[in-house]
Structure 1
Amino acid sequence: MSVPIIHHPAFDAQFDASHRFPMSKFSRLAEILVEDGIVSAGGFHVPTPASPEWLRLAHDPLYVDQVLSRTVPAAIEKAIGFAVDEKVALRSRCATGGTVLTAKLALAEGLACNTAGGSHHAGRNGGAGFSVFNDVAVAAAGLLAEGDVGRILVVDCDVHQGDGTARIFAGEPRVFTLSLHGAKNYPAVKAQSDWDVALPDGTGDAAYLAALWAALHTAFDIARPELVFYNAGVDPHGDDRLGRLSLTDQGLAERDRTVIGFFRDRAVPVAAVIGGGYSRDIEALARRHTIVHRVAGEFA
């Protein structure tokens, strides 16, 4: 049986190629997965847009209504990094719905992967850092509210701290947030995750993987999760514009293999999202994002 992979055409809000957020990577990522036979033609699981009710479990109702009506204040749009127009609002709901579906399929089958998600800078009262809705937080809050799980672990390996997720779940004992990130990278003011591992610039594969292995043991022993959300951001890569941790393609693959294998060995379902990646070379970037889907296939 193949690992379920989730995609929706609306994940790509079709920004101009000159925009600093590489929006077209989402379409190219899906194309590569089909071209390389990782997903059969028509084989993607297609999500429905996240419902307003689920969005309001992680975000202030006023902010949710502003996104849905495309009336987000200019100050919040500036913090996000782009205007929240009709395509962006739909993309944000579909990407969040994609993570909800990814989590539900992971619970059913043990492992599932989104082709978007990981918008971890969005907080309860607004978006930030290219993040409109915090898809992992929405999915986690919804699953808890419906009683599908009782304990959740978020393993965030994006190069940027998962500050929005940490703040949304501060004081929520059922969600444990683990973040491995660049110490000197965005955001300038860090949140307090349940477990933070702040790494120096130029860390490299070996030191990164050693820190990851130790952190997974610590987080698992404390959280004892029934479900793991894994943010497999590729921006720690040495060629990423915003990275600085100097990981290689092989290092990213071993990172993904380590995280997924750690939890599958312990029979804990894993829902993976792609997180950040900011190379100007869309082809190279999209292929880098497919690493997690390829590695996940090893566990089918």
Structure 2
Amino acid sequence: PITQSVVKRTQAAVGGTLTAARLALRHGLACNTAGGSHHAGPMGGAGFCVFNDVGVAGRALINSGEVGQVLVVDLDVHQGDGTAFIFEHEPRVFTFSMHGEKNFPVRRGPSDLDIDLPDGTGDAAYVARLKAVLPDLLRRVAPDLVFYIAGVDPHESDRLGRLSLSDAGLAERDAYVLETCLAVAPVVGVIGGGYDHDIDRLARRHATLHRAAAQAWRRGLARREA
């Protein structure tokens, strides 16, 4: 149900992603503690998503001239169909989604690059597939800003994901994406999907992104000081 609390949360999440994006452009890296509502499309909400925060922020930055080229790296277990539809005819935004091949949504969006993974992929195969794609993608797209949707629903205990990643696998994924992307462009991270009846456990899982970002920031600061 669309209650007042849902309205406030949705507006705050969208504003948070836009603010984080502008902070990333200024400082190199920033993360929202919400966001990643990638099923919402140009015609409305879908899949627990009301407004597409990455879509709004990306469009705002492109229209204002703050960026000329954007890359969306979507590692939620579900395909980022709404984001793909929003930027279907926008060459200045490249949408990349790596997700479960047998998962929601049934009707896929027109991403610039989709990678479908089988159920039970596991840590090693997942990270290897990502490493085989991301560096070349960054070279080809040459983004001014990267939006990273760090969904934790590929986790082995997630109610809606079936890719069987462990806590260590999620941490390795996030660290790799941040380090690789930060070598090329500023990064804004959002949390994406995660579905667990234990909210504390889910919150700790989502915080993997923020721990990885803090570590990446400290390493980058150490290199600058050196």
Q: TM-score range by the shorter chain?
A: over 0.9
Q: How does 1:132-281 map to 2 (within 5 A)?
A: 132-266=50-184, 268-281=185-198
Quote the residue 1:294 is aligned against: 211
**Contact 2:119–2:162 under 8 Å retained in 1:** yes
Distance 2:149 2:26 in 1: 20
Distance 2:2 2:92 in 1: 32
1:123 to 34, 37, 41: 41
Query: Over residues 154-175 of structure 1, what are the superposed CA-to-partner deviations in whole Å (9 max), with x where a residue is unaligned?
Result: 0000000000000110021000
Shift of 1:264: 1.3
**Contact 1:176–1:219 under 8 Å retained in 2:** no
**Contact 1:195–1:219 under 8 Å retained in 2:** no
Distance 2:52 2:183 in 1: 28
**Contact 1:227–1:270 under 8 Å retained in 2:** yes
Q: TM-score, normalised by structure 2?
A: 0.94
Distance 2:7 2:132 in 1: 38
- Return the letter of the residue paired with 1:207: A
Shift of 1:85: 2.1
Quote the residue 1:16 is aligned against: none
- Return the letter of the residue paired with 2:214: G
Distance 1:175 1:92 in 2: 23
**Contact 1:111–1:270 under 8 Å retained in 2:** yes
Query: Over residues 24-75 of structure 1, what are the superposed CA-to-partner deviations in whole Å (9 max), with x where a residue is unaligned?
Result: xxxxxxxxxxxxxxxxxxxxxxxxxxxxxxxxxxxxxxxxxxxxxxxxxxxx
Quote the residue 1:285 is aligned against: 202
Query: Over residues 228-264 of structure 1, what are the superposed CA-to-partner deviations in whole Å (9 max), with x where a residue is unaligned?
Result: 0000000000000001000000000000011100011
**Contact 2:100–2:116 under 8 Å retained in 1:** yes
Question: What secondary structure sits across from 2:216 in the alignment?
Answer: coil
- Whether 1:85 and 2:3 are equivalent positions in the alignment is yes
Shift of 1:219: 2.2
Identity rate of aligned residues, in percent?
59
User: Larger Cα Rg: Structure 1 or Structure 2?
Assistant: 1
Quote the residue 1:12 is aligned against: none
Distance 2:216 2:115 in 1: 27
Shift of 1:217: 2.4
Instruction: Give the paired residue count.
Output: 217
**Contact 1:182–1:244 under 8 Å retained in 2:** yes
Distance 1:211 1:115 in 2: 27
**Contact 2:149–2:190 under 8 Å retained in 1:** yes
Shift of 1:218: 3.5
Distance 1:178 1:129 in 2: 19
Distance 1:250 1:205 in 2: 8
Shift of 1:110: 0.5
- Whether 1:106 and 2:24 are equivalent positions in the alignment is yes
Distance 1:214 1:169 in 2: 25
- Gaps spanning 5+ residues in structure 1: where? 1-82
Quote the residue 2:221 is aligned against: none
Q: TM-score, normalised by structure 1?
A: 0.71
